[in-house]
Amino acid sequence: MNPLQLCLILSSLLFCIGLAGALARSNTILVLLGIELMLNAANLNFIAFWRYGPHAATGTGVVFVIFAIAVAAAEAAVGLALVIAVHRHRKSVRLQDANTLKG
């Protein structure tokens, strides 16, 4: 098994841990953290393919990961602001309690 496959297996397991957390927990913050883990797994894939790919000198994978980190930071900020807004209206952070659009 070559190192690229090891990296991809690591990334898959990280993705599945994030997926299990996002599906099985009902706390909104934990769901958001699970989604962050899935995003990180995708970044890990980019770096692995950049490292073992044929065009490592161009650095396209690194540039893509930098943009993905920027977008993930924006997503985390907006998502946690939404969590706080929902908590203010519902007094709860459970997903089951936020089931209507009209606040």
CA-CA distance, 73 to 71, in Å (whole number)?
Answer: 5
Comparing CB distances to another protein, the nearer of 38 and 100 is: 38
Among 27, 42, 97, 98, binds another protein (CB under 8 A): 27
Q: Does 98 bind another protein (CB under 8 A)?
A: no
Buried b (16+ CB within 10 A) or exposed e, 46-57: bebbbeeeeeee
For residue 78, the minimal CB distance to another protein (Å) is 5
Determine if 42 is a binding residue for another protein (CB under 8 A). Answer: no
Site for another protein in 48-77 (CB under 8 A): 48, 50-54, 56-63, 65-67, 69-77
Fill in the DSSP letter of residue 75: H
Can you tell me whether residue 27 is helix, strand or coil? strand
Q: Is 35 in the site for another protein (CB under 8 A)?
A: no
The SS3 of residue 94 is strand
